Structure 1
């Protein structure tokens, strides 16, 4: 390859990860729908951004800043035409223990470092890795997140101060129990009432007029009630009327090693959730080509930008992306407009937004969590295979009890082990009759057909089955039905040949696939044959050769028997 062609390929690879004019090719045709979708999803995103900021142990302002900055950057640099990015419930679940362990001041730094990791993953073309995650694991992960988001709102309904929620365990289930034990029962009725008003507005809007953002209606109604009626409800508090100035986080270098685990966890979650969200968006409508590697680059840049402005890590948001698509979005303009709507809120109505009760936001997130779980999907998985049902339940339980990324890893490993076991179960060494009419000596020939994948999980069983053959002089191994073979399987096949040959049994190998031949040669399968003529392409040739060996062996046995009989007769003769 010439230097020029290599440079062209590298240049093309880099350009494929960067924005281009082609990203906005359809804007002239779709701009009206994109504008409407952007405004709609911006309104929907407002209470979610505020709520996720509060639930993470940070501030509503940081949630809003993240939605604005990351929303724009991911829209411009990402690999999906309709993805909407910002703070998400899954990221909140990860951030709560990070805030508890390292303090809120470290979140911006974690966001920048995790963004760099995600960006590097995109540059290294790792975007397709999410395809290895099985569907039951994804749904178990989603169920676990939904449960945690719901549980995280309980402290906001039991105390007048947000700080009391931060004093509890970083585990959502434990924190919910602690907050109920320590609840201010004079405060609870007000908070639960406010949450129920918001939930009722969201449910009614969905049934009566889906185009109306019920969450905004409910939050505005509760805020107005609190403005005219004296209540003990805690509110968001004052918000700045402009974006903060960009700056690097003031965290000592000595703290970096302790943040490594948090950074990798956030990066893994950001990559997984963003790619899943973009894939879901592509299944809803024909929204154009989705580039997984560029999506990672865009999400990495989005989290870096969010951290520079003091925000939190961002990911693609499945719920907001779905709203965007169903509202008619077809280009990146919609996600950019969504961020512009949120910026307008900061610039124009920061004061009224600061009066929103935290209990109202808790109601928004509780119903959002409830809607994340689809009963039909849960029933389908639980009624599928036992292994898939276990993977689903296990992933959900580990997500709630421990950690999201650990849960996904455990779910993938479990599903992988089951898949390998099932694959190995399809491997067999089948003893077949010789083709054609029976001939003398055929009882000394064993024809063994190897079926299915010959891999590490099945190699030992095949070895024991074939080497256990007895009373034969020749074994024909039919290898044409081997679907897949790894190094362990090839090594086991070579061991089978050697073990039989040591016992004086001639081994003939028939039907090696071209795809397996190179591996068989490197591992020593072909070299373990007694002679190169013992490798055959056609079964009739192998059978004819085996019959000649069997006949020669029988003749040798008869000769040996006669000689032994003569020696015995001489031994028995009188001296």
Structure 2
């Protein structure tokens, strides 16, 4: 018990504000909180729910998640991808229950992320390729853009003027020193115009849903709103958030070179979502844009993100009434600019030039995102990533022959297609030997048919595990060599693996071969296998002549 208390105490002390970075983080949190007002409301609109859910998520995500992250400058807040995925999942829920459904979805997604962290699944994010994520995010951006421009806030000319004004403010200020406050001014200026001219026909945020005043209070979501569609949406949100979070960790490395831990970041984003759900928020995740703003604002540690959540809470408590007066067309303008900014032609062009595998990945995921529900598109993207990974492993596998030189060195050359009589061939393998890789190895091993007493040494140094497919391939090749009077030798096998490969197990697998464990001297086990193969050829030749 004392040990647990000690560990918790050290964890708590490591999360306290540092004196040397306190001022930087405190000030850096202000621009983040200000930009979270329009971003949070726009995310709520994008998800088809009351903008207040985005506002509440914008304070709870950074506050609860920011204390957990291993990527210290990561900001966990609303993201367009998560908002669109969540909105797609609750689109068929009756409007009266939609707010409760998205909060419950957020809680489920958070619990899934925490479970992923406990199961240490962080390393598997690397299997979702960059091409797939780019195709998915580009599809989301295009969908978001057309959703906004094809569903304007009414046809009233006043609403059109309001939206265009906000759009101009965003575009013009993006090129000035006021870029950090562009989104805020894009709300303030059009709001002043609408209020000043008395344009009551222009829809306001308060028309979509009430913006409560005062301090938000925690409340458990209604479990009666659970459905399998909601669970599928939560899974999609979790995958999107976790993969995006891994990308944020790469874009914002820790100062001083400390490495990020994907599983800790998984947990942090999960805690951020649980916190957001308890306060009526929508899904949150590592945000590329908000993290970049946090860095550019001078944040030095994790409290830059935490302070942005605290400042956001202050804004909600003090200015809730003002937020309700924001015209809805201004949020449409924020979404349009965000959508256009999310499409990166240069990055897409680079991916399209890298080869057919990347082209298939980005185009397939992009089309799936446009035509299918987000949950289905995410599932296709993940499955496609795994298939492409297996295909790449299979295609990248190569087999070379190692030829001993007069000076004792080994020289590489292409592996022979067939084997010759009494020949000792040393083969080395580059690439994965799991699944399709093992089958590719089977196709690239030299053919022993027609040869007499061929001996083959397969060098496997550095490999610590082997799957059933590999055993099947080795068994088949061993039998083909035996039919020709030859034998297979495995060299460089890890000592722990070779200890398990005793005669009984090899016999049970139907394998008749010799295993030479690796030693500290590179090439020693292969040399021993080579000597054993030559001695066997001598014995076989002597018996044949006798």
Deviation at 1:190, TM superposition (A): 4.0
Q: Is the 8 A contact 1:392 1:411 kept in 2?
A: no
Which of structures 1 and 2 has the bigger CA Rg? 1
Measure the CA separation in 1 of the matches of 2:515 and 2:309: 70
- Whether 1:228 and 2:223 are equivalent positions in the alignment is no
Superposition pairs of residues 25-64 of structure 1, within 5 angstroms: 27-64=18-55
Cα 1:469–1:89 change in 2 (3 A) is same
SS at match of 1:479: strand
SS at match of 2:423: strand
Measure the CA separation in 2 of the matches of 1:34 and 1:375: 34
From 462, 467, 470, the equivalent of 1:486 is 467
From 446, 461, 469, the equivalent of 2:423 is 446
Q: Is the 8 A contact 2:82 2:284 kept in 1?
A: yes
Number of residue-to-residue matches in the alignment: 511
- Whether 1:391 and 2:361 are equivalent positions in the alignment is yes
From 222, 242, 252, the equivalent of 1:271 is 242
Superposition pairs of residues 114-193 of structure 1, within 5 angstroms: 114-154=109-149, 156-157=151-152, 159-160=153-154, 184=155, 187=156, 189-193=157-161
Q: Which moved more, 1:374-383 or 1:463-472?
A: 463-472
Cα 1:365–1:433 change in 2 (3 A) is closer
SS at match of 1:450: strand
Give 5+ residue unaligned stretches, structure 2: 407-418, 517-524
SS at match of 1:330: coil
Measure the CA separation in 2 of the matches of 1:554 and 1:24: 81
Cα 1:91–1:430 change in 2 (3 A) is closer
Cα 1:80–1:548 change in 2 (3 A) is closer
SS at match of 1:329: coil
Q: Which moved more, 1:520-529 or 1:450-459?
A: 520-529
Q: Counterpart of 1:167? A: none
Cα 1:475–1:86 change in 2 (3 A) is same
- Whether 1:85 and 2:76 are equivalent positions in the alignment is yes
Give 5+ residue unaligned stretches, structure 1: 161-183, 437-441, 557-575
Measure the CA separation in 2 of the matches of 1:317 and 1:293: 17
SS at match of 1:477: strand
* TM-score normalized by the length of structure 1: 0.78
- Whether 1:245 and 2:217 are equivalent positions in the alignment is yes
Measure the CA separation in 2 of the matches of 1:507 and 1:224: 86
1:95-125 Cα deviation digits (max 9, x unpaired): 2222222341222222222222222222333
Deviation at 1:196, TM superposition (A): 2.8
SS at match of 2:15: helix
Measure the CA separation in 1 of the matches of 2:266 and 2:422: 59
SS at match of 2:222: coil
Q: Which moved more, 1:42-51 or 1:133-142?
A: 133-142
Superposition pairs of residues 153-552 of structure 1, within 5 angstroms: 153-154=148-149, 156-157=151-152, 159-160=153-154, 184=155, 187=156, 189-210=157-178, 212-231=180-199, 232-237=201-206, 238-252=210-224, 255-256=226-227, 259-282=230-253, 289-427=259-397, 444-452=421-429, 453=431, 454-460=433-439, 462-463=441-442, 468-480=447-459, 486-501=467-482, 503=483, 505-509=485-489, 511-514=491-494, 517-518=498-499, 521=502, 522=505, 524=507, 528-529=511-512, 537-538=527-528, 541-542=531-532, 544-552=534-542
* TM-score normalized by the length of structure 2: 0.82
- Alpha carbon RMSD of aligned pairs, Å? 3.4
Q: Which moved more, 1:112-121 or 1:405-414?
A: 405-414
Q: Is the 8 A contact 2:33 2:312 kept in 1?
A: yes
